[in-house]
């Protein structure tokens, strides 16, 4: 049965936010037993990472390799495009989430603490005359004025950030 109309993938706005991944299988075994090459490509810059793996590697091992090879260099991505079964991407996301949560500690701040704020380059925050991709991804530090919820805080923000965060 037809799967529907083709849809153009969203154009990435930041490097390593949108990636594609594929596997080159059935290559001759290396001395370490690797028989597959995992190819991870950034859709914006077209830069690629080629990682040797075993075809039988479990998903949690792939998540650890991904953390070591990609996340430590480029951060967490927003989307994955893969020609594999959609269940593969779902299993990969779950394994990656489990791997990330192993060492994550909940952050709590007290009134008076100084914190930095993550900002998106496309949300209208312009600092130091830079635009878009050259903007800093984090700004601050800002003083915590009050705790609003479990993970929400009111910060002492400058006027230029009042339109983005209130």
Domain 18-101 has CATH 3.30.420.10: yes
* pLDDT at 39 (0 to 100): 95
Phi, psi of 9 (to 5 degrees): -60, 150
* pLDDT at 29 (0 to 100): 95
In a 13 Å sphere around the CA of 103, the CA atoms on its Cβ side amount to: 5
- Per domain, the residue ranges of the chain are 18-101, 114-161
Angle at 73 between CA 80 and CA 29, to 5 degrees: 70
Give the length of the chain.
166
* pLDDT at 163 (0 to 100): 65
Mean pLDDT, range 16-36, rounded to an integer: 92
DSSP string, 110-124: -TT-EEEEE--TTTT
Residue 49 has pLDDT above 90, yes or no: yes
Residue 48 has pLDDT above 90, yes or no: yes
Q: Which residue has the higher pLDDT, 88 or 119?
A: 88
* pLDDT at 127 (0 to 100): 52
The model's confidence at residue 125, banded by pLDDT at 50, 70 and 90, is low
* pLDDT at 54 (0 to 100): 94
Residue 129 has pLDDT above 60, yes or no: no
Instruction: Please state whether the peptide bond connecting residue 141 to the residue before it is cis, i.e. omega within 30 degrees of 0.
Output: yes
The model's confidence at residue 90, banded by pLDDT at 50, 70 and 90, is confident
Mean pLDDT, range 25-40, rounded to an integer: 94
SS3 141: strand
């Amino acid at each position: 049965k037809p799967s529907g109309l083709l849809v153009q993938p969203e154009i990435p706005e930041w490097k390593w936010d949108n990636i594609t991944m594929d596997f080159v299988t059935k290559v001759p075994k290396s001395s370490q037993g690797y028989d597959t090459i995992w190819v991870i490509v950034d859709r914006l810059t077209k830069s690629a990472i080629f990682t040797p793996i075993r075809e039988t590697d479990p998903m949690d091992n792939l998540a650890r390799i991904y953390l070591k090879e990609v996340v430590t260099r480029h951060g967490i991505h927003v989307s994955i495009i893969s020609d594999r079964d959609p269940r593969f991407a779902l299993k990969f996301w779950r394994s990656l989430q489990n791997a990330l949560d192993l060492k994550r500690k909940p952050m709590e701040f007290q009134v008076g603490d100084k914190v930095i704020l993550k900002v998106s380059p496309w949300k209208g925050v312009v600092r130091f005359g830079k635009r878009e991709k050259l903007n800093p991804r984090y700004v601050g530090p800002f003083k915590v004025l009050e705790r609003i919820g479990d993970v929400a805080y009111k910060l002492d923000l400058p006027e230029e950030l009042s339109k983005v965060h209130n």
